[in-house]
């Protein structure tokens, strides 16, 4: 099988995660970046390549970010450097059940400018012509202004016309949107371009008022999506290839006895799923890998867990 290349588009921020006893740990994270890290770890040694697409500043933290991404095997040739800008920042507080609360400082982050005098023409052309898969999320959409979002839609359309698959995770965060209508308009336009949806039912229910996971798969079918996964948390997920199935297939997951931190559950699922997908596995096997990896990640603190833990997972999956 030919080696594949995927571009993960979005924002990485400085993460301050609650370690207990009023102490916080600094790391770098963001939904598509988290997925890119887990994807790269699962694909190490396979020849498949993971690229990250964003904008960073001209500060020390931005340099540290890129160095860390490169140490994870992520290719960083489609990143803009914007003068006098810096990454956003967020903190995570956890309750006794491992559920998280976020606080953000990102209104003027460099990533918001990635398509506004950020990425150069050569990088943009590479994005539309050189990748097998482009992966983005609702957060990617939410941080961009209207003009930049339109630019992104045009890039996705061109990439799809050139043969790329467009994979979209809605990852709906109400606080990032001016209104539900604005979120529905932007996500609806993106879903109409996407070839695969990797969504979470709770998000779809909140934004689209879907009554059931099956209602979500039916709505995605009507949008012309080729393949879909609806994540169901501890219950696993549903997956469907609309060209071959009339009903979605449930894929269960092994329950986790003690959940420590659910911060990157969906992101790590995406990374595990996409790694298997790039290796040519069927959708059910892709979901099984995604479920298994997410189950490991939520037993540890922070969005990105130590590499030695996922290295062991990758060797056995």
Catalytic site positions: 267
* Distance separating alpha carbons of residues 286 and 300, to the nearest angstrom: 22
* Distance separating alpha carbons of residues 303 and 313, to the nearest angstrom: 17
What tokens were used for 106?
């990102």
Evaluate whether 234 touches 202 at the Cβ level (below 8 Å): no
What tokens were used for 226?
């080729």
* Distance separating alpha carbons of residues 220 and 197, to the nearest angstrom: 8
Q: What is the DSSP string of 143-167?
A: TS-HHHHHHHHHHHHHHHHTT-EEE
DSSP E strand boundaries for 66-156: 75-81, 89-94, 100-105, 133-137
What tokens were used for 244?
């071959």
DSSP label at residue 109: B
Among candidate residues 52, 48, 88, the one with its CA nearest the CA of residue 70: 52
* Distance separating alpha carbons of residues 183 and 180, to the nearest angstrom: 5
Evaluate whether 128 touches 78 at the Cβ level (below 8 Å): no
């Amino acid at each position: 099988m030919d080696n594949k290349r995927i571009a993960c588009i979005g924002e990485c921020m400085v993460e301050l995660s609650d370690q207990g006893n009023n102490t916080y740990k600094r790391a770098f994270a963001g939904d598509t970046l988290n997925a890119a890290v887990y994807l790269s770890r699962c694909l190490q040694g396979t020849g498949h390549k993971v690229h990250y697409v964003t904008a960073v500043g001209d500060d020390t933290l931005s340099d540290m970010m890129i160095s860390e991404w490169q140490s994870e095997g992520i290719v960083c040739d489609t990143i803009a450097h914007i003068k006098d800008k810096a990454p956003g920042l967020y903190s995570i507080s956890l309750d006794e059940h491992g559920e998280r609360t976020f606080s953000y400082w990102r209104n003027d982050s460099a990533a918001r400018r990635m398509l506004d005098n950020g990425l150069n023409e050569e990088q943009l052309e590479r994005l539309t012509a050189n990748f097998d898969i482009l992966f983005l999320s609702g957060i990617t959409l939410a941080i961009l202004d209207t003009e930049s979002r339109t630019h992104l839609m045009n890039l996705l359309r061109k990439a799809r016309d050139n043969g790329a698959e467009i994979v979209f995770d809605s990852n709906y965060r109400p606080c990032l949107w001016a209104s539900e209508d604005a979120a529905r308009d932007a996500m609806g336009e993106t879903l109409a371009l996407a070839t695969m949806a990797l969504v979470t039912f709770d998000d779809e229910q909140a934004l689209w008022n879907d009554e059931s996971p099956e209602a979500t798969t039916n709505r995605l079918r009507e949008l012309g999506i080729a393949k879909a996964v609806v994540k169901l948390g501890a219950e696993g997920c549903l997956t469907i290839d609309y060209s071959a199935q009339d009903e979605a297939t449930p894929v269960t997951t092994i329950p986790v006895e003690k959940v420590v931190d659910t911060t990157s559950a969906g992101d790590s699922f995406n990374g595990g799923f996409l790694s298997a997908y790039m290796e040519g596995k069927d959708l059910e096997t892709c979901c099984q890998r995604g479920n298994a990896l997410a189950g490991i990640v939520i037993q540890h603190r922070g969005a990105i867990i130590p590499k030695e833990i996922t290295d062991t997972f990758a060797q056995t999956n």
